Structure 1
Amino acid sequence: MTNKRSYDNSNREAKAEATRQKIIEALIQQLIENNSPEFSIEEAAATAGVTTRTLFRHFSNKEEMLLGVSEGILKLTGQIKEPLNPNDFLQVFKSTYCLFEQHPDLIKATLLSDLGRGARSTLAERRRKANMKALTPLVAQMPEEEAKAVQAVLCNLITAETWLNVTSNFNLDGNHAYAVIEWMLKLAFDALQAGNYPDLQQSLFTDGVTKK
C-alpha cells in the first residue's frame, strides 16, 4: 500500500504573500508619489505587476486595501510599543520622532492624502488611547474633564501632525523640534508630579469680556 504524498503548499503560500506585499508596496508608492485623494486600483495593479483580478483576489475591496496599507506602513516604519506609563510615553515620543525623520516622505503622504489618512486612522486611534492611558498617573488627582484636557494636549505634541506642522510650515529642523518638545513634556511632567496643575477654571478672555 502506497502512502499518499501530502501536498506541501508552503511554496504557494509564500508566493501569495510575496504578491500581497508587492500590492501593498504599490499602494504606498502611489500614496507617496501622487499625494492625491484619487485611489487608482489599475495603477496599483500595474505597479505591482499583477492584473486587477489578482489584486482583488488579495483585497476584495478598498477598505481591505487600506488595512493592507496600514500593515505596510507599520512594517516600513517599524513597530513602536504602546506606552504603559509616563516614562514609556517619553521613550515612545523619541522613537516616534526618529521614525518621522527616517521616513519623512511616507509620513507626509499619509497625512496629506485621503488614502493616507484612511490608512492611518485605525492605527492612530489605538495609539491615541494608549498614550492617554499612559499619562493617567500624572493627572489622577484632577477632575476627569480637566485631566482629559491635559492628556489631550500632551498627546498632541507627539503626533505626526505636529511634527509636520513645525518642520514644514515653520521650516524647523526635526532635531530641534524634538529637543523643544521633549523639554516642554519634561517641564509639564515635573509640574504635574509636584501637584502643580493648570488652572482650567480661568476665563479664556480678559478685560471684562465674559467667557461664553
Structure 2
Amino acid sequence: MTNVRTYNSPLREKKTRETREAILVALFELMDSAGGAPDEIGTEAIARKAGVQRRTLFRHFATKDELLAAFWPWLNARIGVSASPETLREIVEGPRLAFRRFDAHESAIRAALHSRTGREMRMGTVARRRACFARALGTAIASLPADGTAKVEALAHLLLSASAWEVLKDYGGLTGAQAGETASWALEVILSAVASGQSPAGTTSQPKETGDGD
C-alpha cells in the first residue's frame, strides 16, 4: 500500500496543479473576453469554463474571495510583471516593460484597479512593495534627507504602477508603450536630478532677500 501511495502522490499533485491552473485561466478568459469585473463573474460560469464541477472549484478555493486572492498574484506572474522590484534598473525600466504588456490584458488590469478584491489585493502588498522600493532605490537617493527619500520613493511607487498606466492612457491619450516610455523617462529625470544634487520635487525654495533700495 505504501508503494501505491508513493507512486500516486506525484500524479495527484500534478492533477491538483492542473485543475487549479484551469480554474484561474477560466476566470482570466471570462474577464478578458467579456470585460467584466471578476467580483461579478459567478463561480458556476468559472467552473463551466474550466471544465470542472462547481464543487471541484470549491475544493481548490473554499470561497470566491479565496479564488480572487489567488488570482491577482497569478495574473502578475502570467503577464510577467514584478510588483516588487529588487534593483534600481528594475524600477527605471519597469514601466517600459510592463505598460505595453498591460495593453495586451487591458480588461484584466482595469478590473484589478477597480474591483473590490483587486483593491484589497493591492493594499495587502503595499508594505512589502514599499520596502522593496526603498531597498532598490537605496544608494541612489542616500544623499537626500528623510523627507526627500520619502518623496522619491512615493513617486517611483506611483510611476511603476497600473494606476500610472491607466491615467497616462485615459488622460494623456497615450498607448501603453508610450505611457511606459513616459513613466520611465520621468523616473530617469527624477533620479538624474537627485544625482546632480538638485532638490527633490516638491521642495520649496525661499526667495532671496534684497535690500530696500540699496
TM-score interval, smaller chain: 0.7 to 0.9
Q: TM-score, normalised by structure 2?
A: 0.77
| Structure 2 residue runs without a partner (length 5+) | 206-214
Match of 1:130 in 2: 132
Count matched residues: 201
Counterpart secondary structure, 2:4: coil
Contact 2:31–2:38 (Cα < 8 Å) also in 1: yes
Instruction: Choose the corresponding residue for 2:159, options 137, 151, 157.
Output: 157
Listed one character per residue, the Cα deviations across residues 188-210 of structure 1 (whole Å, up to 9, x for unaligned) are: 1111012112374539xxxxxxx
Q: Percentage identity across aligned positions?
A: 28
Counterpart secondary structure, 2:103: helix
152-161 or 109-118, larger mean C-alpha shift? 109-118
Counterpart secondary structure, 2:52: coil
CA 1:37–1:79 in 2, change beyond 3 Å: closer, same or farther?
A: closer
Write the distance in 1 (CA, Å) between the matches of 2:71 and 2:62.
14
| Structure 1 residue runs without a partner (length 5+) | 204-212
Cα root mean square deviation, aligned:
2.8
Write the distance in 2 (CA, Å) between the matches of 1:56 and 1:37.
16
Counterpart check, 1:40 vs 2:38: no
Q: CA deviation at 1:185?
A: 1.7
Q: CA deviation at 1:82?
A: 4.4
Match of 2:184 in 1: 182
Instruction: Choose the corresponding residue for 1:192, options 191, 194, 199.
Output: 194
Write the distance in 2 (CA, Å) between the matches of 1:25 and 1:69.
9
Structure (1 or 2) with the greater helix fraction: 2
CA 1:104–1:148 in 2, change beyond 3 Å: closer, same or farther?
A: same
Matches within 5 A, 1:48-127: 48-78=50-80, 80=82, 82-123=84-125, 126-127=128-129
Q: CA deviation at 1:93?
A: 3.2
140-149 or 78-87, larger mean C-alpha shift? 78-87
Write the distance in 2 (CA, Å) between the matches of 1:4 and 1:159.
50
Write the distance in 2 (CA, Å) between the matches of 1:126 and 1:178.
23
Listed one character per residue, the Cα deviations across residues 55-86 of structure 1 (whole Å, up to 9, x for unaligned) are: 11111223421232124303321253843443
Instruction: Choose the corresponding residue for 2:144, options 142, 145, 153.
Output: 142
Write the distance in 2 (CA, Å) between the matches of 1:146 and 1:4.
62
